[in-house]
């Protein structure tokens, strides 16, 4: 007997439903468990690398990884500063010298940790904050200055409104005393 469809579900009798429930279930073969997958070691993860079998990255590869990380971090920092400061990102442009210093520092980190590609490690974050701290500070300062300027504009408008109100009141008094 076929299962009832949604179209005629209300037309199924109790006997048909009991017959369907008493019908033996079809058995399915469960596949055997597969072998557990070995985790893939992250670049620079020394715990998963056989020191004798591992090849050290070349200085050129480390330099390329350092330049790649430096490019990502400087562009990200510039965008973050623009967001925080509410200004155009050109104001917070990282100098070529700073980017070069950052790339050299990241290359040393990449060589030390045997990294051949970008890997966000704690050392990279620390280096970024040390080398790029000034634009971040400038961005926060710009944000504070903007808030103070906005508050000053609001207070000036309020003062003008109050001065106009006082002039109107004086005019009314002059007319009454007039």
In a domain, 114, yes or no: yes
Q: Is the pLDDT of residue 147 over 90?
A: yes
In a domain, 82, yes or no: yes
In a domain, 167, yes or no: no
Q: Is the pLDDT of residue 84 over 70?
A: yes
Q: What distance in Å separates the CA atoms of residue 11 and residue 4, rounded to the nearest whole number?
A: 9
The pLDDT-based confidence of 121 (bands split at 50, 70, 90) is: low
Q: What is the pLDDT of residues 13-31, one digit of tens each?
A: 888 888 888 888 888 888 7
Report the domain count for the chain.
1
Query: How large is the C-alpha radius of gyration of the chain?
Result: 35
In a domain, 130, yes or no: yes
Residue recorded with tokens 């004798």: 52
Least confident of 43-47, 72-76, 97-101, 104-108: 43-47
H or E element, residue 32: none
Q: What distance in Å separates the CA atoms of residue 20 and residue 46, rounded to the nearest whole number?
A: 60
Single pTM value for the model:
0.45
Q: What distance in Å separates the CA atoms of residue 131 and residue 122, rounded to the nearest whole number?
A: 14
In a domain, 128, yes or no: yes
Q: Please compute the mean of the pLDDT values over residues 5-20 and round it to a whole number.
A: 74
**Residue pair 92/78 in contact by the 8 Å Cβ criterion:** yes
Least confident of 106-110, 115-119, 142-146, 165-169: 115-119
The residue segments making up the domain with residue 108 are: 53-153
Q: What distance in Å separates the CA atoms of residue 128 and residue 99, rounded to the nearest whole number?
A: 10
Report which of 77, 84, 79 is spatially closest to residue 146, judged by C-alpha positions. Answer: 84
In a domain, 138, yes or no: yes
In a domain, 123, yes or no: yes
């Amino acid at each position: 007997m076929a299962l009832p469809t949604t179209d005629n579900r209300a037309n199924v009798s109790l006997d048909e439903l009991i017959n369907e429930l008493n019908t033996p279930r079809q058995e399915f073969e469960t596949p055997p468990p597969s072998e557990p997958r070995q985790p893939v070691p992250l670049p620079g993860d020394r715990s998963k690398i056989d020191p004798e079998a591992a090849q050290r990255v070349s200085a050129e590869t480390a330099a390329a990884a350092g330049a790649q990380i430096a490019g990502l971090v400087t562009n990200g920092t510039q965008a973050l500063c623009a967001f925080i400061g509410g200004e155009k990102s050109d104001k917070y442009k990282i100098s070529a010298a700073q980017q070069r210093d950052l790339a050299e520092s990241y290359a040393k980190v990449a060589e030390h940790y045997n990294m051949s590609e970008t890997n966000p490690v704690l050392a990279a974050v620390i280096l970024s904050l040390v080398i790029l701290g000034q634009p971040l500070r400038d961005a926060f300062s710009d944000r504070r200055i903007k808030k103070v300027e906005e508050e000053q504009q609001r207070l000036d408008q309020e003062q003008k409104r109050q001065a106009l109100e006082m002039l109107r009141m004086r005019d009314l008094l002059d007319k009454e005393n007039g």
